Amino acid sequence: MVERIAYEVDGWGVGELWLSGRTLAWHEFPFGAADPSGHDALVERVRAYLAGARETFEDVELDLTWCTPFQQGVVETMRAIPYGETATYGEVAALAGHPNAQRAVGSVCAANRFALVVPCHRVVAADGLGSYGSLGPVYKRRLLELEGVVL
Protein backbone atom coordinates (compact mmCIF):
# COMPACT_ATOMS: atom_id res chain seq x y z
CA MET A 1 0.00 0.00 0.00
CA VAL A 2 1.27 3.45 -0.91
CA GLU A 3 1.01 6.26 1.61
CA ARG A 4 0.77 9.78 0.16
CA ILE A 5 2.27 12.48 2.35
CA ALA A 6 1.88 16.14 1.46
CA TYR A 7 4.35 18.67 2.81
CA GLU A 8 4.67 22.43 2.65
CA VAL A 9 7.87 24.47 2.55
CA ASP A 10 7.72 28.23 3.05
CA GLY A 11 8.58 30.03 -0.16
CA TRP A 12 8.32 26.85 -2.27
CA GLY A 13 4.72 25.62 -1.93
CA VAL A 14 3.28 22.15 -1.37
CA GLY A 15 4.81 18.88 -2.54
CA GLU A 16 4.02 15.23 -2.05
CA LEU A 17 5.91 12.03 -1.23
CA TRP A 18 4.48 8.60 -2.02
CA LEU A 19 5.95 5.91 0.23
CA SER A 20 5.54 2.16 0.08
CA GLY A 21 6.72 1.29 3.56
CA ARG A 22 10.10 3.02 3.73
CA THR A 23 10.64 2.92 -0.05
CA LEU A 24 10.05 6.11 -2.02
CA ALA A 25 7.69 5.40 -4.92
CA TRP A 26 7.18 8.97 -6.18
CA HIS A 27 8.16 12.53 -5.26
CA GLU A 28 6.52 15.77 -6.35
CA PHE A 29 8.35 19.06 -5.84
CA PRO A 30 6.59 21.70 -3.78
CA PHE A 31 4.74 24.12 -6.00
CA GLY A 32 1.73 26.37 -5.65
CA ALA A 33 -0.39 26.14 -2.52
CA ALA A 34 -2.61 23.53 -0.90
CA ASP A 35 -3.35 22.11 2.53
CA PRO A 36 -0.52 19.72 3.54
CA SER A 37 -1.14 16.79 5.84
CA GLY A 38 0.90 13.95 7.26
CA HIS A 39 4.41 13.83 8.66
CA ASP A 40 7.46 11.72 7.99
CA ALA A 41 11.22 11.93 8.54
CA LEU A 42 11.76 12.15 4.77
CA VAL A 43 9.39 15.12 4.63
CA GLU A 44 11.54 16.86 7.23
CA ARG A 45 14.66 16.15 5.18
CA VAL A 46 13.05 17.62 2.06
CA ARG A 47 12.01 20.68 4.04
CA ALA A 48 15.52 21.04 5.42
CA TYR A 49 17.04 20.76 1.93
CA LEU A 50 14.72 23.44 0.55
CA ALA A 51 15.61 25.65 3.53
CA GLY A 52 19.30 25.39 2.55
CA ALA A 53 20.57 22.28 4.38
CA ARG A 54 23.15 20.22 2.53
CA GLU A 55 21.24 16.96 2.00
CA THR A 56 22.13 14.13 -0.41
CA PHE A 57 19.23 11.67 -0.01
CA GLU A 58 21.63 8.92 -1.11
CA ASP A 59 20.34 6.56 1.58
CA VAL A 60 16.70 6.78 0.44
CA GLU A 61 15.57 3.48 -1.03
CA LEU A 62 13.78 3.86 -4.37
CA ASP A 63 11.28 1.78 -6.32
CA LEU A 64 13.08 1.39 -9.66
CA THR A 65 10.92 -1.42 -11.03
CA TRP A 66 9.84 0.92 -13.83
CA CYS A 67 13.44 1.30 -15.04
CA THR A 68 15.23 -0.52 -17.83
CA PRO A 69 18.87 -1.39 -17.10
CA PHE A 70 19.89 1.75 -19.03
CA GLN A 71 17.52 3.94 -17.02
CA GLN A 72 18.73 2.37 -13.78
CA GLY A 73 22.33 3.19 -14.71
CA VAL A 74 21.38 6.78 -15.48
CA VAL A 75 19.47 7.09 -12.17
CA GLU A 76 22.47 5.73 -10.25
CA THR A 77 24.81 8.10 -12.11
CA MET A 78 22.60 11.12 -11.36
CA ARG A 79 22.43 10.15 -7.68
CA ALA A 80 26.23 10.22 -7.61
CA ILE A 81 26.45 13.85 -8.78
CA PRO A 82 27.59 15.67 -5.65
CA TYR A 83 25.58 18.43 -4.01
CA GLY A 84 26.58 21.76 -5.53
CA GLU A 85 27.98 20.26 -8.73
CA THR A 86 26.59 19.63 -12.20
CA ALA A 87 27.19 17.24 -15.08
CA THR A 88 26.09 17.54 -18.68
CA TYR A 89 23.64 15.14 -20.28
CA GLY A 90 26.57 13.77 -22.31
CA GLU A 91 28.73 13.28 -19.23
CA VAL A 92 25.94 11.40 -17.46
CA ALA A 93 25.46 9.21 -20.54
CA ALA A 94 29.18 8.39 -20.66
CA LEU A 95 29.40 7.74 -16.91
CA ALA A 96 26.39 5.42 -17.20
CA GLY A 97 28.26 3.45 -19.86
CA HIS A 98 26.40 4.78 -22.89
CA PRO A 99 28.41 7.52 -24.62
CA ASN A 100 26.38 9.54 -27.12
CA ALA A 101 23.09 8.71 -25.36
CA GLN A 102 22.63 12.23 -24.00
CA ARG A 103 19.14 12.58 -25.50
CA ALA A 104 18.11 9.35 -23.78
CA VAL A 105 19.46 10.77 -20.51
CA GLY A 106 17.16 13.73 -21.08
CA SER A 107 14.25 11.30 -21.43
CA VAL A 108 15.17 9.65 -18.13
CA CYS A 109 15.27 13.09 -16.50
CA ALA A 110 11.84 13.89 -17.95
CA ALA A 111 10.43 10.64 -16.47
CA ASN A 112 12.17 11.10 -13.11
CA ARG A 113 9.71 10.31 -10.31
CA PHE A 114 12.02 11.29 -7.50
CA ALA A 115 12.93 14.96 -7.95
CA LEU A 116 15.49 15.76 -5.23
CA VAL A 117 16.41 12.15 -4.51
CA VAL A 118 17.49 11.63 -8.13
CA PRO A 119 18.81 15.16 -8.68
CA CYS A 120 18.18 15.71 -12.37
CA HIS A 121 18.34 19.45 -11.68
CA ARG A 122 22.12 18.90 -11.53
CA VAL A 123 22.12 17.64 -15.13
CA VAL A 124 22.64 20.55 -17.51
CA ALA A 125 22.99 21.12 -21.23
CA ALA A 126 26.49 21.44 -22.68
CA ASP A 127 25.69 25.05 -23.60
CA GLY A 128 23.89 26.12 -20.44
CA LEU A 129 21.05 25.30 -18.10
CA GLY A 130 18.76 23.14 -20.22
CA SER A 131 15.08 22.52 -19.52
CA TYR A 132 13.35 21.16 -16.44
CA GLY A 133 10.08 19.58 -17.45
CA SER A 134 6.83 21.25 -16.49
CA LEU A 135 8.47 23.32 -13.74
CA GLY A 136 10.81 24.96 -16.24
CA PRO A 137 14.31 26.39 -16.12
CA VAL A 138 13.47 29.03 -13.49
CA TYR A 139 12.75 26.28 -10.94
CA LYS A 140 15.89 24.37 -12.00
CA ARG A 141 18.02 27.49 -11.62
CA ARG A 142 16.50 28.11 -8.18
CA LEU A 143 17.47 24.61 -7.02
CA LEU A 144 21.00 24.99 -8.38
CA GLU A 145 21.39 28.38 -6.74
CA LEU A 146 20.20 26.83 -3.47
CA GLU A 147 23.20 24.48 -3.81
CA GLY A 148 25.56 27.33 -4.69
CA VAL A 149 25.77 26.57 -8.42
CA VAL A 150 25.81 29.56 -10.76
CA LEU A 151 25.62 28.95 -14.50
Q: Which residues are catalytic?
A: 120
CA distance 134 to 136: 5
Length of the chain in terms of residues written: 151
The radius of gyration of the chain's CA atoms, rounded to the nearest angstrom, is: 15
**DSSP symbols for 46-89:** HHHHHTT-----TT--B--TT--HHHHHHHHHHHTSPTT--EEH
Strand 23-31, strand 123-124: pairing: unpaired
3-state helix, strand, coil in the chain (%, to 5): 35, 20, 45
